Structure 1
Amino acid sequence: MATTALHAWLLDSDPALRWQVERDLVHEPEHVWRATRARVQTEGFGARLLALQDPEGTWAGGAHFPGDFSKEEFARSGQPWTATTWSLNALREWGVPAQTLEGTAELLDRHARWEYDDLPFWSGEVDACINGFTLANGVWLGADVAGIADWFVTHRLADGGWNCEWVEGSTRSSFHSTLNALKGLLAWEMATGGSPQTRAARRAGEEYLLERGLFRRLSTGEQVGEWSTVFSYPMRWVCSVLNAADYFRTAALTDGGAPDERLRDAIAVIRAQEQHDGTWIQAHRHPGRVWFHVDVPPGEPSKWLTFHARRVLQWWDGAGR
């Protein structure tokens, strides 16, 4: 597709995606994309997901897992994506204003507990990915999540990042855990300015990923796993090079810095998956229960992936890389 046709294709989408295309790719005036963003809470995906909230402030009756979740379901169908963590992640990423969820932070404080040790929702738990999501969601909704920000400082591993399996004794960081921790810490800094300790933790986590080019083992230079170059939306918790590069774009724009040269190979991977018509293909869907699908089945051109990939490339190319 020509650029004009590609933009028209992307703009013909749910308001949750359209406003981001308007802002970041088409560069519409602020009043245009803000008007579209305001529709997310009343139309399409955003309105549908808001309507599914429980009276207690949760979704699906649970914090990270639905209230009726069982180990048998996990073995049979995989991780369910309907509970509170995943629903809040989606609404936040789609641009729903915190005011639309007024009172939710208080409801979750009273009614929601983590499946791990029945811990209070806004105190976080022991999983770095869950804590990263909760830090970002808490900042968005106005909850007191300073304790989670400090948790990342004290639980960073010696190699610079984090690993959700530290409670099982792991001493080496995980690409996935580190990326999700970084997203939470960046959201915390954007809202509060952070502290010298949280800013240092974020820099160390970024170095962990950058030293590895976002997808290579430091020891051998080999690709860390097939998942790192497989693109799908929703991205969930997976550290694909697209998900990680999108984080580094946001971080660089926040910090006022230029793209790091160590992203070059990851950018090449993203560019190589562009189709002849300028789109990116949905590689797969993460298995597990969902409220509703928000993107195409595997094998079809994905508007969400195309948006994220083109946004990253526009940032990289615009910096003269």
Structure 2
Amino acid sequence: MTDSGSVIEWLLDSDPSIRWQVMRDLLEAPESEWRAERAKVETEGWGARLLSYQDEDGQWAGGAFLPADFDPREWAERGQPWTATTFSLSQLREFGLDPASDRARRSVELIGANSRWNEGGQPYWEGEVEECINGRTVADGAYFGIDVSPIVGRLVGERLEDGGWNCDRINGSVRSSFASTINVLEGLLEYERATGGTAGSREARRSGEEFLLKRNLFRRLGTGEPADERFLCFLHPNRWHYDILRALDYFRFAAILTDTDPDPRLGEAIDHIRLRRLEDGTWPLDWSLPGRVWFEVDDGQGKPSRWVTLRAMRVLKWWDSHSSECAVP
């Protein structure tokens, strides 16, 4: 693989969850074609496999955030488990399970009726207490057609003075975090896509974006140093973790939804994406999170990743299509 055509062929020689996004985002195939491919997520490959692990009550692994059989020693010894309902549902959204399908509608209905958060015991679609979790709950709920406006209202009110969010706010933190902020931003954007949003949610989303843009997506505001070197490394699945490729993919989606041009302050992160491209035209998986999963969707750390490559290629395609607008005067 030395050219984009070969890389696209490699991406297409994969799972339906990747193929339909390649068709839509890279090949600009007719909607009827990519929707037909997307429909296969429910019945073939990773999507069907993940759905096969669903409990009769609609949950995964018997719990909302943690598996029913979770022992705190597991987190310390093996890492956070990723098999419970919240992470499984988010992965189905990433795969592109059609929210209008009977299986999707039945799943979110059962989750609403039967799943309770480990923290507080409240019904699933009422949200949890942490901003990171609620951001993803809003994204999943809005995507699958649930009214999550009460959670959105809470998130808008939990914004910190610097424009972003931090799950440690309840413990006294007054500075936003990159991870909490991207989780909330993705939720607010999905809510805006589904409903148009509210004046408050749209303003909050813009302030959260500004928090990241002022820092060029990865730098400390005070020193200019990277806030975390891992922000520059490619991770998948991200779960609740942050990296610049996740942020760039968010800004791409936001710009397409709102019909706006890319912000020039994304340029440094874009340059890093270009530099990390391998000689064969792909991008590697730099690291992955430890902990229990249903199954792997990449070939391993250090190897070319279809998920990372798909994200990188569509981000660069979007950026390059606006190259003149992105130039700094």
- Do they fold alike, i.e. is TM over 0.5? yes
My pick for the range that moved more, 113-122 or 84-93, is 113-122
**CA deviation after TM superposition for structure 1 residue 229, in Å:** 0.6
Alignment partner of 2:199 out of 182, 196, 200: 196
Alignment partner of 2:237 out of 215, 234, 238: 234
CA distance in 1, matches of 2:84, 2:27: 34
Q: Could you give the per-residue CA deviations for residues 72-124 of structure 1, whole angstroms, max 9, x where no partner exists?
A: 00000111111101111011111111222222233222211111121221111
Matched, 1:2 2:3: yes
Q: Secondary structure at the match of 2:42?
A: coil
Q: Is the CA contact (8 Å cut-off) linking 1:152 and 1:181 kept in structure 2?
A: yes
Q: Is the CA contact (8 Å cut-off) linking 1:267 and 1:313 kept in structure 2?
A: yes
Q: Is the CA contact (8 Å cut-off) linking 2:143 and 2:191 kept in structure 1?
A: no
Matched, 1:304 2:307: yes
**CA deviation after TM superposition for structure 1 residue 297, in Å:** 0.5
Instruction: Within 5 Å, give how 1:1-321 maps onto structure 2.
Output: 1-98=2-99, 99=101, 100-320=103-323, 321=326
My pick for the range that moved more, 203-212 or 138-147, is 138-147
**CA deviation after TM superposition for structure 1 residue 268, in Å:** 1.1
- Listed as ranges, the gaps of 5+ residues in structure 1 are none
CA distance in 2, matches of 1:191, 1:142: 8
Q: Is the CA contact (8 Å cut-off) linking 2:15 and 2:45 kept in structure 1?
A: yes
| TM-score, reference length from structure 1 | 0.98
- Listed as ranges, the gaps of 5+ residues in structure 2 are none
CA distance in 1, matches of 2:312, 2:146: 32
**CA deviation after TM superposition for structure 1 residue 32, in Å:** 1.8
CA distance in 1, matches of 2:120, 2:41: 35
Q: Is the CA contact (8 Å cut-off) linking 2:64 and 2:118 kept in structure 1?
A: yes
The change in CA–CA distance for 1:11 and 1:213 in structure 2 (over 3 A counts) is same
| TM-score, reference length from structure 2 | 0.95
Q: Could you give the per-residue CA deviations for residues 27-68 of structure 1, whole angstroms, max 9, x where no partner exists?
A: 222222111111111000000011111111110001011111
**CA deviation after TM superposition for structure 1 residue 215, in Å:** 0.2
In percent, how many aligned pairs have the same letter? 52
Q: Is the CA contact (8 Å cut-off) linking 2:78 and 2:292 kept in structure 1?
A: yes
Q: Secondary structure at the match of 1:171?
A: coil
CA distance in 2, matches of 1:89, 1:96: 10
Equivalenced residue count is: 321
CA distance in 2, matches of 1:4, 1:117: 51
Q: Is the CA contact (8 Å cut-off) linking 1:104 and 1:141 kept in structure 2?
A: no
Computed over aligned residues only, the root mean square deviation of the Cα atoms, in angstroms, reads 1.0
**CA deviation after TM superposition for structure 1 residue 267, in Å:** 0.7
CA distance in 2, matches of 1:227, 1:124: 29
Q: Secondary structure at the match of 1:103?
A: helix
CA distance in 1, matches of 2:16, 2:165: 34
Instruction: Spell out structure 1 runs of 4+ moving beyond 6 A.
Output: none
CA distance in 1, matches of 2:79, 2:309: 26
My pick for the range that moved more, 94-103 or 32-41, is 94-103
Q: Secondary structure at the match of 1:275?
A: coil
Q: Could you give the per-residue CA deviations for residues 235-280 of structure 1, whole angstroms, max 9, x where no partner exists?
A: 2222101000000000000010000001011111111110111110
CA distance in 1, matches of 2:227, 2:122: 33
**CA deviation after TM superposition for structure 1 residue 226, in Å:** 1.5
